[in-house]
Amino acid sequence: MKKKALILGAGLAGLSCGYELARHGLDVTLIEKENEAGGLAKSFRNNKFTYDLGPHRFHSEKSYLIEHIKEILDNKVVIKKRKSEIFLKNRYFDYPLRTANIISRMPPLILLKIFFDYFTTQVKKRFKDVPDNSFENWVTNRFGTTLYEIFFKEYTEKTWGLSCSEISSDYAAQRISLLNLWDVVVKSVFKTKNIPRTYVSQFYYPQEGGIGNIAEKYMEKIAGHGAKIFLGSEIKTINVSSSGVTSVVFESNETSHSESYDYVCSTIPMTDLVSLITPQDDSKVKQACSELFFRSIVFVYLIINKPRLSDNHWIYIPGRLFLSNRISEFKNFNEDSSPPKKTIICSEVTCFCGDRIWNMNNERLADRVTEDLVQLGLTGENEVEDYFTYKMKHAYPIYDIYYQEHLGVIRNFLNQFDNLYSFGRNALFRYNNMDHSVEMGLSVAKSIIKGEKANLETATQKKWFG
């Protein structure tokens, strides 16, 4: 009898795991709540336009992951040179930060204040050390107050909906690869052997379609190995005993299914997974789940009667006067994503599910994003031809200063079930990249094939995120 494995969620973590297990002869079932696979890394097609959920780039320092993605895409891969900027003080700056660009674009008095604050901070630290107990302190300790306020504070607070003093320093340590302001100078002037992720200038992208072509190819190959795939389906209950998952109940096409599996691999949000487990009456676990939050995104798309807005893959927009957090233009990822004389851009607007922005009507959202583009000098109001939106409830796990405490309670609860594997961005409550998700899926599959239990808690901290 073949061992049976259930994959919950068809994002890249679930797809890579399902592919590897099916390839090695396991009886794989994949269940996805949405009607399309890919999670945040999916693509859509609208007439002659192809678009992603914001900008995506696949890159990794691990050659086997690059080769794996090439294999999945049948070697139909292109290498793109990253181009991105940040709009500050009515000027565009290169992002990641580059010394020559900052010097040439920043007003001299502000530039002087940036370096004065940085060196003052370094001197003060010799007499009184400020602990890295928040995003604000972590960044200020390394870049000084002025650079923190100009480049980091406003964008971070706008994105997460929290004060930087309420955000864990884990987010800074995980997402800001540079050590300090001096590191910015060194990395942008001298070539170094170990290039931080922030400074990776090239990335891989599917030659055909959008980034979702990766998920589409995974699905083709998984189905080719005989896996059963249920899209637009919903998990109702996960039944457990003291040692593991005994059965899973799900609904597909209004038909209820109850099955038992040797392995259950979950990539759905951690808090959703806990809510599905029965019996489960641990008040501490429920309380911990209620204290973990996700940031949502409304993606606003504008079709514009213009060949191209800029040569950037994406532009960061920190200012609170702008609704948009970041805009991306898909023609710069793939020339064939739009007709020659038109382009499509995506504005990412972060919010909380159910708040004012989440409930704003599409016309008003499109008007506000159009206003943003006009103020950025990228287009005129009369050049916008059409618009539409897409909403993602679970976009970013929120790292508030207490999240690790709650996360530990939930991890301890889930770790007691020997045949349950929880991994991926939302399942581990980790703000990771595409290559991390693929690597996690492959690693879990490898552990199952070897008959081992993957220690994802340790691996998450030491292997995938540094």
Residues 396 and 230: their CA atoms lie apart, in Å, by: 25
Give the residue-averaged pLDDT of 46-52: 93
pLDDT (0 to 100) of residue 464 = 40
Same domain, residue pair 186 and 216 = no
Residue 125 pLDDT level (bands cut at 50, 70, 90): confident
Confidence band, pLDDT 50/70/90 cuts, at residue 47: confident
Q: Work out the percent of the chain whose per-residue pLDDT is above 70.
A: 92
pLDDT band of 128, cuts 50, 70, 90: confident
Domain boundary among 139, 167, 199: 199
Residue scoring higher pLDDT (4 or 142): 4
Instruction: Look up the CATH number of the domain holding residue 223.
Output: 3.50.50.60
Last residue of a domain, one of 199, 228, 248: 199
CA–CA dist 311, 329 (Å, integer):
8
For 409, the token pair is 């309670």
Write phi, then psi, for 362 (nearest 5 degrees). -60, -40
288 vs 404: CA distance, rounded Å: 10
The pLDDT of residue 121: 87
Phi, psi torsion values for 377, nearest 5 degrees: 75, 25
Range of the domain at 11: 4-41+212-289+400-464
The per-residue pLDDT for range 268-314, each reduced to its tens digit, is 999 999 999 999 777 899 999 999 999 999 999 999 999 999 999 99
The pLDDT assigned to 183 comes to 63
Instruction: Answer with the one of 174, 199, 224 that is the final residue of a domain.
Output: 199
Read off the tokens for 319. 């200012």
The CA distance from 395 to 153, in Å, is 20
Classify residue 341: in a domain, yes or no: no
Kindly state whether residue 436 falls inside one of the protein's structural domains.
yes
The structure's pTM equals 0.91
Q: What is the pLDDT of residue 96?
A: 80
What percent helix, strand, coil does the chain show, rounded to 5?
40, 25, 35
Domain count, the chain: 2
> Under 8 Å CB-to-CB from 132, ≥6 apart: which residues?
138, 141, 169, 172, 173
Same domain, 88 and 190: yes
* Tokens coding 9: 């969620």
Residues found in the chain: 466
pLDDT band at residue 362, thresholds of 50, 70 and 90? very high
Return the bridge partners of 50, or none.
Answer: 45
